[in-house]
Amino acid sequence: PVLLKADLVSLATAIVPYKDEKLAQFFKIPMNENGFFVEAHAKLGPSQFATDGVFLCGMAHYPKPIDESVAQAQAAASRAITLLARKKIRVSGAIAQVNFGSCSSCGVCIDVCPYSAPSFVKEGRFKGKAEINPVLCKGCGLCVASCRSGALNLKGFGEDQILAMINEI
């Protein structure tokens, strides 16, 4: 047996994450095997997720000291206020767009999009057809590739342009 004389004994309690798969799915946030949320990039964006406008801080990320939690909360608040202070938000030029005449309202695009950009038009002339929210769209092309009726395409990436790129390879 080892005998140590100590001035102070500190017992750290285990930090168990609140595993909320519904919240993670709603915000499209990945979780690690321990149930903590995972950031977009540990070094380049420690308070950001792949989903724009969603920020991470504190114990939802991983167990950390209070001063680190406060610093991360300040970083997240700073990133959020830069978005909220703008009157207009710039979006990527390569976003999906819908040809309403070809849309069959099947909803496959809504199911496959990891960013929740497609939705159904709720009212008006094109009610029930798919529409794309350009702020949420990242131009990944999953909805375009999965559209059975060919109603979706990416701006700047028409069939002619894609075939020309393939032919050059």
Interval 83-101: pLDDT, tens? 889 888 776 678 899 999 8
Q: Which of 15, 34, 14 is nearest to 24 (CA)?
A: 34
* pTM of the full structure: 0.59
Among 14-18, 55-59, 69-73, top mean pLDDT goes to 69-73
* Between residues 47 and 112, the one the model is more confident about: 112
CATH topology of domain 96-168: Alpha-Beta Plaits (3.30.70)
* Mean pLDDT across the chain: 85
Specify the domain boundaries for CATH 3.30.70.20 within the chain.
Answer: 96-168
For the stretch 15-49, pLDDT in tens is 888 778 888 888 778 888 888 888 877 677 666 77
Nearest to 77 by CA among 37, 49, 47: 47
CB burial of 70-101 (b: ≥16 within 10 Å; e: otherwise) equals: eebeebbeebeeeeeeeeeeeeeeebbebeee
